[in-house]
Amino acid sequence: MLDQSAPQTGVRASGPLAGYRIVEFAGIGPGPFASMMLADMGADVVTLDRVGAKKNLKSVAGRGRKVVELDLKDKQALAQVLDLLGCADALIEGFRPGVMERLGLGPDVVLARNPKLVYGRMTGWGQEGPLAQAAGHDINYISLTGALAAIGPKERPIPPLNLVGDFGGGALYLVVGVLAALLEASKSGKGQVVDAAMVDGAASLISMFFDLAAMGRWVEGRENNFLDGGAHFYGVYECACGHFISIGSIEPQFYALLRQHAGLSDDAFDAQMDRNAWPTLKDKLEQVFKTKTREEWCKIMEGTDICFAPVLTMAEAPKHPHMAARNIFVERHGVTQPAPAPRFSRTPSVIREPEKMELGELVGAWNAAR
CA-to-CA separations, 319 to 5, 341, 350, in angstroms, rounded: 16, 19, 21
DSSP H or E segment with residue 254 = helix 252-262
Work out the average pLDDT over 111-119.
98
SS3 237: strand
Would you call 137 a catalytic residue per the annotation?
Answer: yes
pLDDT in the model for residue 12? 55
* 11-15, 61-65, 318-322: least confident range: 11-15
pLDDT tens for residues 151-193?
A: 999 999 999 999 999 999 999 999 999 999 999 999 999 999 9
Do 343 and 18 form a contact (C-beta atoms < 8 A)?
no
With H, G, I as helix, E, B as strand and everything else as coil, classify residue 196.
Answer: strand
pLDDT in tens, 244-272: 999 999 999 999 999 999 999 999 999 99
pLDDT at 43: 97
Active site residue 49: no
What average pLDDT does range 3-24 have in this prediction?
72
Could you report the per-residue pLDDT of 179-229, keeping only the tens digit for each?
Answer: 999 999 999 999 999 999 999 999 999 999 999 999 999 999 999 999 999
In the chain, CATH 3.40.50.10540 sits at 7-207+328-368
Give the fold, CATH level 3, of 234-313: formyl-coa transferase, domain 3 (3.30.1540)
Q: Which residue has the higher pLDDT, 360 or 117?
A: 117
Contacts of 323 (CB under 8 A, 6+ apart): 317, 329
Q: Catalytic one among 83, 137, 243, 261?
A: 137
| pLDDT tens readout for residues 32-55 | 999 999 999 999 999 999 988 766
Question: Which range is least confidently modeled, 12-16, 75-79, 172-176?
Answer: 12-16
**H/E element, 259:** helix 252-262
Give 298-327 pLDDT, tens digit per residue: 999 999 999 999 999 999 999 999 999 999
Beta-sheet strand order (sheet of 192-197): 192-197, 118-123, 90-93, 21-25, 44-50, 66-70, 355-356
Conformational region of residue 43, where left means phi above 0, alpha means psi within -120 to 50, and beta covers everything else: beta
Domain 7-207+328-368 has CATH 3.20.20.60: no
Name the segment(s) of the chain with CATH classification 3.30.1540.10: 234-313
Cα–Cα separations (whole angstroms), residue 365 to 35, 84, 359: 21, 10, 10
The confidence score (pLDDT) of residue 52 equals 81
Question: Strand locations in 142-270, DSSP E?
Answer: 192-197, 234-238, 244-248
Mean of pLDDT over the chain:
94
C-alpha torsion angle, residues 76, 80, 82, 83 (rounded to 10): 140
pLDDT digits (tens, 9 = 90+) for 271-305: 999 999 999 999 999 999 999 999 999 999 999 99
| For residue 57, pLDDT beyond 90 | no
pLDDT digits (tens, 9 = 90+) for 123-161: 999 999 999 999 999 999 999 999 999 999 999 999 999
The single residue of 40, 44, 166, 200 carrying the catalytic annotation is 166
